[in-house]
Amino acid sequence: MINFDAQDLLATAEIDEPLIIRGTRCHGGFDADGKYISPRNKYRSAAIDLWRRQFETRYARAVASIPPQSFPSHIPSLRQAEFLLERGILDPLVKYFTKIGIAESFGEVIRHAPTNIQRFFADDIRGTATAHLEKGLLEAHARDEAGHEEERGHTDMWFLARDVAFDGRPAERMRLEVVAEMGDSVTRRAAKEIPEVKRQHRLCPDLDPDFDRLLERLTTLLFVELAAYPRFAWAEEFLGNSRLSAGEAARIVRYIRQDEDPHVAYLLIVLDEIREMNVIGESGKLHRGDSLVQPHWNRAFHALLTSVSRTGPEWFRHEVEKEVIRLKLPRSVYRDFVDLGGPMPNPT
Ligand SMILES: [Fe+2]
Ligand SMILES: [Fe+2]
């Protein structure tokens, strides 16, 4: 039986030198050869591999996978970004990086999940990745995104990458602006935690609202993580090659990308495990996990595509337009920017 305790799944491998960016202690560090070591990964990735193999043996099929290319990108193309830099139109880019950092801070809520997950299942879940959600898997994920104690996580690492790249830009003003713009969705998210609202929002009316909410959270998280892949790849390439000379910022993004690997991996396994098991409804009736996961899966995918089209290229173009007006640049600059929009770079 595959069994880890929270301490194992939260343990970081031996590091020689901590990751410190501009005086800020971030998670992870470097081994004696200078290789970056992600936090909380002494056993976590190995454990995830074991759960994957266990799943494949038990159910004679591979764990689902979704190519990152399934998601449209949020971003200006590399050429468009360079065009903005050449003309000193930096705010939309600074804001974009700020937005990613703030989105990562929502990772904080990942840890708030129901306990004693076994009570939702008719099957014995011991030894599965699902059983380990409350034994460190969700906590490790939350810490990666939002930081833990004195170690800063992805939220601050994105802010640091932004500050390294766009030295001296009004970062705090940006943060406040973005928080105000995103305020609505934060309020909506908080409202869903009220028990009566949780009950009303269930996709399966016979399901314990806490379990329904867990399925909603896991599927949402999975698609948000997957959609981030091409954006993060873009960010690393842009920072590494642009006229900003932001090699250090590109390295920070590379560390973040390495840390992200276990996130999608465990979420895919857990959701597939749940699909294969029987879930106990409030009435006592048993439901096939598959029939419960699929509606959440569809909803989360659809919600993500809708939000990408609402907050993606359209949002960015609007930011550029505002900045062209603020800087009193000719209107043609905005048109040229839009015309340059070509196909997005392939995720690496
Ligand atoms: Fe992250
Ligand atoms: Fe992540």
| Contact call for residues 64 and 271 (beta carbons, < 8 A) | yes
Cα 260 to ligand 2 centre (Å):
5
pLDDT at 348 over 60: no
Distance 65 CA to ligand 1 centre (A): 19
Q: How far apart are CA 53 and CA 343, in angstroms?
A: 37
Between CA 312 and CA 35 the distance in angstroms is 34
Mean pLDDT of all residues in 262-290? 96
Residue 344, pLDDT score: 45
CA of 166 to the centre of ligand 2 (A): 24
Q: Which two tokens stand for residue 241?
A: 């090659």
Give the integer Cα–Cα distance in Å for 163 and 178.
Answer: 16
Q: What is the Å distance from ligand 1's center to 263 Cα?
A: 9
What pLDDT score was predicted for residue 193?
58
What mean pLDDT, rounded, does the chain reach? Answer: 88
d(CA 207, ligand 1 centre) in Å: 30
* pLDDT at residue 262, rounded to an integer: 96
Q: Tell me the CA distances in angstroms from 10 to 40, 127, 277, one per residue in order.
A: 5, 17, 27
Report whether pLDDT(57) > 50. yes
Rounded to an integer, the average pLDDT of 270-274 is 98
Q: Which residues surround ligand 1, an ion (CB under 5 A)?
A: 104, 145, 154
Give the pLDDT score at 347.
39
In the reported structure, the alpha carbon of residue 142 is separated from the centroid of ligand 2 by a whole-number distance in angstroms of 8
pLDDT bin (cut points 50, 70, 90) of residue 253 is: very high
Confidence bin at 213 (pLDDT 50/70/90): very high
Residue 346 has a pLDDT of 42
d(CA 283, CA 29): 50
Closest-CA residue to 135 (of 47, 45, 6, 267): 6
First to last CA, the chain: 36
**If you measure from the C-alpha of residue 137 to the centroid of ligand 2, how many angstroms do you get, rounded to a whole number?**
12
Helix axes 91-105, 209-241, angle to 10 degrees: 150
Residue 44 confidence class, pLDDT cut points 50, 70, 90: very high
